[in-house]
């Protein structure tokens, strides 16, 4: 599991570190790493380092200081370095002096004769002629949208960009972007991942991420967020062992679909069939359709005669009427872990007395998309999706999986997992039904609910990616849109992939 720390946590750890290692030494350590990675990118794209050109975009704080020191190190390797200073009077003095000593140049972003968009000729020239641009505009202390001159410089960058700490223009806490922002090919960050590297637009804008050790590790508290790694998902994914039979692996009950929406039942049941080996029971009006698609499912017409299960997946397509309500109430009273999705969530929002049906000691997972989340929370989902999910998880004492390009999984005790899909192929009708089946199957196997959601979200987005690329894992392959059935079909491939990662 990778940890993710807030800017405040990182800053506090830095202060502790500075008590044993002077701040300038730490900065040079960070900057040296930026220089090493910039040299690597220069070599990748131009075949060498010496004689290449780098433009540094330098803001008013220590982020600019990092960039200036990195420029000084690059000069020593024969790189032509020009620093474009956004606030010349506030530029990091020691970094600027080091760059100049090494033979680097510094120009003002706005002078001497700015064009109509406020950029000076020397600055425009430096950005235009660079092989690589290093973004040291703003780092951990970024506030709000980029100011106009910084925004204009960022708009002009067309060559590969290396972001120092984080891509400027991205909110460090939420990853949200408001106006122009750097789209980095590579982000070199220090001490640990920050929320903007794994959330929303920020995850995309960060490009490849290099986390550099600057000595913070011993000073970092528990991380704010967690990101699961494929290998740990693969190692934990339940597969049958020598002494297992169909019952020992957990039986999942699927209560989904209706005469109008039989597809939801087929997709959720199919996902449960493919996720784990045990047994899937289906209960609802789509029993015949489910049986015809998945003959291995034991299907009945009603939750009341479904038989014994270890967990329930409930909601997709059950409707908002009395029968849907009755189904939800029944599974909540079963004393088994429940993954409640889709109509279940709206039913809870419409009738809060349903919460009373729940056994307080039995885990509940809620999997809303943004619209369902607003109904459940009683307010719109804002830019801070992590805090929103955390608040609702605590309020309802449930694990909340908030769907989207970045999936957030919040536990009632405040732990948060993040799954960044890195693509949008799952954005297709019915793919949520597949996710529900995956989570339910993992719950039935006894996987802890917070992790079950994290494992399922990862395998779900990976399955979509594999399906879109017809099974190819070649990053250069071109994808094509898929439907939920194709995603479902790719689930075993995705499980194989994470299990392969676990083997090393």
Residue ranges of the binding site for (6S)-NADPHX: 264, 317, 369, 433
Instruction: Please give the Cα distance from 404 to 368 (Å, whole number).
Output: 9
Residue 135 near which of ligand NPW, ligand ADP, K ion, none (CB within 5-8 Å, type-dependent): K ion
Residue 195 near which of ligand NPW, K ion, ligand ADP, none (CB within 5-8 Å, type-dependent): none
170: left (phi over 0), alpha (psi -120 to 50) or beta: beta
- β-partners of residue 409 are 401, 417
Instruction: Please give the Cα distance from 484 to 432 (Å, whole number).
Output: 8
Q: Which is nearer to ligand ADP, 235 or 429 (CB)?
A: 429
| Helix 262-275 × helix 431-444 angle, to 10° | 40
Interacting residue with ligand NPW among 140, 313, 389, 441 (CB under 6 A):
140
Residue 237: name the closest of 407, 492, 504 by CA: 492
Interacting residue with ligand NPW among 39, 41, 57, 59 (CB under 6 A):
59
- β-partners of residue 313 are 254, 339
**Interaction between residue 139 and ligand NPW (CB under 6 A):** yes
Helices assigned H by DSSP within 199-319:
200-205, 230-236, 262-275, 287-293
Longest dimension (CA), the chain: 81
**Interaction between residue 60 and ligand NPW (CB under 6 A):** yes
Q: Residues at the annotated binding site?
A: 264, 317, 369, 403-407, 432-433
Q: How far is the CB of 204 from ligand NPW (least distance, A)?
A: 19
Instruction: Please give the Cα distance from 16 to 475 (Å, whole number).
Output: 41
Residue 403 near which of ligand NPW, K ion, ligand ADP, none (CB within 5-8 Å, type-dependent): ligand ADP
* H or E element, residue 188: strand 186-190
Instruction: Please give the Cα distance from 405 to 200 (Å, whole number).
Output: 7
55, 126 contact by CB (below 8 A): yes
**Interaction between residue 14 and ligand NPW (CB under 6 A):** yes
Interacting residue with ligand NPW among 49, 84, 96, 164 (CB under 6 A):
164
**Interaction between residue 164 and K ion (CB under 5 A):** yes
Helices assigned H by DSSP within 112-199:
121-129, 148-156, 195-198
Residue corresponding to tokens 């997946």: 313
Q: Residues at the annotated binding site for AMP?
A: 403-407, 432
Give, as ranges, the residues between 169 and 198 that touch ligand NPW (CB under 6 A): 190
Q: How far is the CB of 427 from ligand ADP (least distance, A)?
A: 4
HEC assignment per residue over 442-459: HHHCCCCHHHHHHHHHHH
Give, as ranges, the residues between 99 and 138 that touch ligand NPW (CB under 6 A): 138
Residue 251 near which of ligand ADP, K ion, ligand NPW, none (CB within 5-8 Å, type-dependent): none
Q: Which is nearer to K ion, 136 or 270 (CB)?
A: 136
Give the dihedral of Cα atoms 63, 68, 73, 78; nearest 10 deg.
Answer: 140
Q: Which is nearer to ligand NPW, 29 or 369 (CB)?
A: 29
**Interface contacts to ligand ADP, rule CB under 6 A:** 342, 369, 403-405, 407, 421, 424, 426-427, 429-433, 435, 460
**Interaction between residue 95 and ligand NPW (CB under 6 A):** no
Q: How far is the CB of 181 from K ion (least distance, A)?
A: 10
Residue 2 near which of ligand NPW, K ion, ligand ADP, none (CB within 5-8 Å, type-dependent): none
Residue 403: name the closest of 448, 318, 464 by CA: 464
HEC assignment per residue over 86-119: CCHHHCCHHHHHHHHHCCCEEEECCCCCCCCCCC
305, 326 contact by CB (below 8 A): no
Q: How far is the CB of 1 from ligand NPW (least distance, A)?
A: 24
Residue 337 near which of ligand NPW, K ion, ligand ADP, none (CB within 5-8 Å, type-dependent): none
Written as six digits, the tokens of 365 are 């997972």
Q: Which residue's C-beta sits nearest to ligand ADP?
A: 432
**Interaction between residue 165 and ligand NPW (CB under 6 A):** yes
Instruction: Please give the Cα distance from 289 to 278 (Å, whole number).
Output: 21
Q: How far is the CB of 317 from ligand ADP (least distance, A)?
A: 9
Residue 144 near which of ligand NPW, ligand ADP, K ion, none (CB within 5-8 Å, type-dependent): ligand NPW
**Interaction between residue 154 and K ion (CB under 5 A):** no
The binding track of 203-222 with respect to ligand NPW, each residue x by CB under 6 A or -, is -----------x--------
Binding site for K ion (CB under 5 A): 135, 163-164, 168
Binding site for ligand NPW (CB under 6 A): 14, 23, 26-27, 30, 59-64, 66, 87, 138-147, 150, 164-165, 190, 214
């Amino acid at each position: 599991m990778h940890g993710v720390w807030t800017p405040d946590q990182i800053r506090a750890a830095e202060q502790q570190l500075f008590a044993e290692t002077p701040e300038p030494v730490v900065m040079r350590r960070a900057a040296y790493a930026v220089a090493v990675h910039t040299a690597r990118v220069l070599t990748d794209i131009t075949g060498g380092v010496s004689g290449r050109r780098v433009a540094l975009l330098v803001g008013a704080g220590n982020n600019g200081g990092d960039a200036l020191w990195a420029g000084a190190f690059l000069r020593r390797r024969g790189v032509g370095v020009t620093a474009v200073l956004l606030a010349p009077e506030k530029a990091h003095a020691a970094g600027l002096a080091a760059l100049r000593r090494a033979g680097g140049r510094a120009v003002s972003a706005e002078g001497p004769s700015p064009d109509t968009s406020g950029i000076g000729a020397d600055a425009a020239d430096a950005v235009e002629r660079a092989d690589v641009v290093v973004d040291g505009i703003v780092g951990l202390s970024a506030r709000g949208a980029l100011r106009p001159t910084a925004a204009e410089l960022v708009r002009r960058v067309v060559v590969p960009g290396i972001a120092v700490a984080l891509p400027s223009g991205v909110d460090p806490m939420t990853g949200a972007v408001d106006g122009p922002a750097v789209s980095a090919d590579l982000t070199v960050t220090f001490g640990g991942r920050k929320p903007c590297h794994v959330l929303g637009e920020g995850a995309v804008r960060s490009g490849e991420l290099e986390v550099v050790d600057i000595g913070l590790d011993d000073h970092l508290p528990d991380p704010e967020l967690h990101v699961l790694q494929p290998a740990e998902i693969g190692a934990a994914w339940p597969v049958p062992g020598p002494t297992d039979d169909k019952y020992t692996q957990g039986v999942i009950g699927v209560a989904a679909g209706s005469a109008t929406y039989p597809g939801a039942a087929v997709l959720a049941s199919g996902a449960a069939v493919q996720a784990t080996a045990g047994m899937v029971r289906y209960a609802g009006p789509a029993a015949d359709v489910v049986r015809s698609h998945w003959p291995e499912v034991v299907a009945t017409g009603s939750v009341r005669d479904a038989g014994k299960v270890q967990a329930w997946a409930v909601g997709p397509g059950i409707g908002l009427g009395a029968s849907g309500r009755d189904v939800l109430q029944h599974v909540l009273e079963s004393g088994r872990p429940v993954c409640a999705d889709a109509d279940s969530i709206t039913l809870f929002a419409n009738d809060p007395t349903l919460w009373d049906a729940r056994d307080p000691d039995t885990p509940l997972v809620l999997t809303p998309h943004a619209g369902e989340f607003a109904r459940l929370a009683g307010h719109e989902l804002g830019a801070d999706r992590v805090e929103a999910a955390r608040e609702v998880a605590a309020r309802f004492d449930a694990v909340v999986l908030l769907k989207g390009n970045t999936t957030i999984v919040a536990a009632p005790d405040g732990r948060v997992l993040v799954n960044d899909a890195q693509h949008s192929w799952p954005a297709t009708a019915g793919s949520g039904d597949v996710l529900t089946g995956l989570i339910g199957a993992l719950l039935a196997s006894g996987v802890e609910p917070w992790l079950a959601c994290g494992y399922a979200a990862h395998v779900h987005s990976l399955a979509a990616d594999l399906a879109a690329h017809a099974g190819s894992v070649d990053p250069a392959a071109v994808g094509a849109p898929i439907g939920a059935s194709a995603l479902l079909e790719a689930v075993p491939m995705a499980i194989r992939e994470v299990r392969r990662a676990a083997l090393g």
